[in-house]
Structure 1
Amino acid sequence: MVPSLMEALEAREAETRGRVDRLREQIAGLSEELSRLEEQLSRLRITRERVDEVLGDGPSPVAGTPVAVDGGGPADVASALLAAEAELDVTVMSPEYQAIIGRFATSGAAMRSKEVYAALEIGSEARHVEGMRSKLKRLVERGILAETAPGLFKVDGRRLGW
């Protein structure tokens, strides 16, 4: 009887160990998902703060709702940022791109990459200006900016139907 009791205990121990391992895997998966969602929530909060800064005390637009403002002003840019955030576009949400977009939001004018670079008080070395041009082209690809003439960029709302 003793050997069968030991076998039964070993079987229960193995079964319990298996359940513990499965629960640990579930906890690890849930922890990973929680971290991912907390990061997304943090980005949403940052974007909302940026939009509030750009729009001042005006009402915050709802994501996916086009804001009809002519001239590519702050409300247009805020809508584009909300759309980019909704699509989880990490590039557009980065601080460097935020500064570029903010410059266009406050200016509303068409600018060349060298002007944007100078406006951000970074400098005007040729290699940096070329890097800025690449960033502006990425924003054109995403429908936030438009290249109205070769090398001349301004806010574009085509991605939201403005």
Structure 2
Amino acid sequence: MARRMTGGELTLGAVLVRLEEREREIAVQAETAQEKIAELTALLDGLEKAIGEIRITRKTLLELPDPRPPAPPAAKLPDHPAYQQIMAVFAAADAPLRARAVCEAMDVEIAPNNVNNVRLKLKRLVERGILVETEQGWFTRPRP
């Protein structure tokens, strides 16, 4: 049985109504909080999955053997027979040679024109990586 209270006091029925209203408000807040928790849980699960995938990828990459640099393509010797003769001279040489010494080894007349022609061929072989010029005018095969 509900009692009436006098003055500023609330009746039992009014208190119960206010409690029900407050309970509904709290229930709505709880439902909203549950939805947020579900969203954050899904986000957390996705982030943990991404972390796991990154760890697996890192582990896989670290287990791979070091890649070897690709071998440079073999330098192609020009077709002219003089280049074959020049390379034969360097195959027999144990030290760098000048163009004049190459001419002598090839039994070519030591004339300025001949020496210059051989020097130009030696420079072409350097450009192709077949020979190296260790100092100005001194040519040899590259060391492995």
TM-score scaled to structure 1, two decimals? 0.42
Identify, as 1 or 2, the structure richer in helix. 1
Ranked by relative contact order (alpha carbons within 8 Å, sequence separation 6 or more), the top structure is 1
